[in-house]
Amino acid sequence: MSHPKLLLLSNSLNHGMAYLEHAKPHFKSFLGAQIERVLFVPYAGVTFSHDDYSARVRPAFEEVGFKLDAIHDFSNPKQAVAEAQAIAVGGGNTFQLLHQLYENDLLVLIRERVQAGMPYIGWSAGSNVACPTIKTTNDMPIVMPKSFQALGLVPFQINPHYLDANPQGHQGETREQRLLEFIEVNPDMYVVGLREGSLLRIEGGSISLFGDKSIRIFHHGELPCELAPTDSLQFLL
């Protein structure tokens, strides 16, 4: 079995930049010269059509040399995944995304293809479903998937769009408090608070952080800590 090859982004729209602009250089270096086409999964979109979502994503890939095929344009989604050179799973609502992956019976097939070496790109919800479960998503459960179990392409959890903010007068839980609750009842699991503009690249059994921000690591029995792009993250794998 090959080492999984993954590019996991916190977000698609970075402050002051065009849609996926911060990610385009990484798409090119990650996919390489052998990939010509990428299969896009727009299932996380809720308030816009799959066609509209694909039309928004397509230029970001085509501008760096890759054709984008949308999975909903195929009469047989499983065949589309089976024949894909690479797959990109977009953000939106994580519960809707996982629900659709189960409904189309794609979860096991995508996992098998990625474990066999097919490159996987995800952002926001697309990064959430790469984890063992979707329990660290920020989204509301607008639908009930068959299970919270996700692709399990990495052995840790991600919290995309991670924020440290605690606005004055706010009496609800902070993001950190919610993740501390998660590790209290899931003591064996690491959680990566992935800030906007940051991405994780996993390839050849190694993991690296890219971007200009640190990540926040949560693990039971340890104080949350900050790790920079220059720090080793191998313990996560």
pLDDT tens digits along 33-82: 899 999 999 999 999 999 999 999 999 999 999 999 999 999 999 999 99
**What residue has token string 């999984």?**
4
Beta bridge partners of 40: 70, 88
Report which of 209, 234, 195, 229 is spatially closest to residue 10, judged by C-alpha positions.
195
Q: Tell me, what's the pLDDT at 16?
A: 87
Category of 103 on φ-ψ map: left (φ > 0), alpha (ψ -120 to 50) or beta: alpha
In one-letter notation, the amino acid at residue 17 is M
Per-residue pLDDT of the chain (237 residues; tens, 9 = 90+): 468 999 999 999 988 899 999 999 999 999 998 999 999 999 999 999 999 999 999 999 999 999 999 999 999 999 999 999 999 999 999 999 999 999 999 999 999 999 999 999 999 999 999 999 999 999 999 999 999 999 999 999 999 999 987 666 766 678 999 999 999 999 999 999 999 999 999 999 999 999 999 999 999 999 999 999 999 999 999
pTM of the model: 0.95
Residues counted in the chain: 237
**What residue has token string 């390839």?**
203
Domain ranges of the chain: 6-236
Q: Tell me, what's the pLDDT at 121?
A: 98
Please write down the HEC assignment for all residues of the chain: CCCCCEEEECCCCCCCCCCCCCCHHHHHHHHCCCCCEEEEECCCCCCCCHHHHHHHHHHHHHCCCCEEEEHHHCCCHHHHHHHCCCEEECCCCHHHHHHHHHHCCCHHHHHHHHHCCCCEEEECHHHHCCCCECCCCCCCCCCCCCCCECCCCCCCEEEECCCCCCCCCCCCCCHHHHHHHHHHHCCCCCEEEECCCCEEEEECCEEEEECCCCEEEECCCCCCEEECCCCCCHHHC
CA dist., res. 210 & res. 34, Å (int): 23
Catalytic residue ranges = 124, 139, 161
CA angle 230, 232, 237 (to 5 degrees): 140
Q: Tell me, what's the pLDDT at 166?
A: 66
What kind of fold does domain 6-236 have according to CATH? Rossmann fold (3.40.50)
